[in-house]
Amino acid sequence: MNISGNAALVTGAASGLGAATAALLAQNGAHVYGLDLEQAIGDAPAPPDNVTLLAADITHEEPVRTALERVARDGHPLRLAVNCAGIAPSARVLGRRGAHPLDLFHHVVNVNLVGTFNVLRLAAQAIARTCADDHGQRGLIVNTASIAAFEGQVGQAAYAASKAGVTGLTITAARDLADHGIRVMTIAPGIVDTPMMAGFPDAVRTALAEGVPMPRRLAHPDEYARLVLMIAAHDYLNGETIRMDGALRMAPR
């Protein structure tokens, strides 16, 4: 699939994986529309050329619809949507303060899983209106899970459950959308050097990097972005979750 000259929607685009993905897609000729919370956009540096940041809470229908209407008005066919938005608070099922707060579990699942599905379904509706290519393809949706979906650590019950939901959604969504010429893929990153990681002490960051078999370092956000580009170019990838983790398998703690 050629993204040049087409529109791409990226969530969580004000920082981290989303910002790197939006920038690389724009460098490769896409007209990128990045969604994020209003405060995150206000705190972010000016976006690169050909990246338009739009304030939207992905857990609500109307802001996402409004963003997609903006894409349609600008006249570039939407061919790609990348779900990078997510949160990762920590709490044990049973901790010193008692049972895991139910509202926290709801919140994490709402952002990471329900928000992802909300964007997926509305983006799919928009992509399905475009013209298919000679092979019947119209576009691609890439979701973001985590290796925590497979090896969730202590304190990651809500996060791991939400990301496991994303991986479980992948094959079903791919099958549902096949008749519309839309592929669905998921990337499950390991430990990525995002702004969230920048707040950790150097000793913690070094220890995390040393736990990765090869290459023995944290992943870079642009490596995630390059994988999105590779998936877009490889038309036979569909309905699968790709681990991007340097062969890391998380220990319990």
Amino acid at 100: H
3-state helix, strand, coil in the chain (%, to 5): 45, 20, 40
| Distance between CA atoms of residues 93 and 197, nearest Å | 24
The residue annotated as part of the active site, out of 33, 159, 224, 236, is 159
Whether 224 is catalytic is no
C-beta separation of 149 from 166 below 8 A? yes
Query: How many angstroms separate the CA atoms of 84 and 42, rounded?
Result: 18
Q: Which two tokens stand for residue 58?
A: 């992905």
Q: Please state, in angstroms and rounded to a whole number, the distance separating the CA atoms of residues 126 and 139.
A: 10
Catalytically active residues are: 159
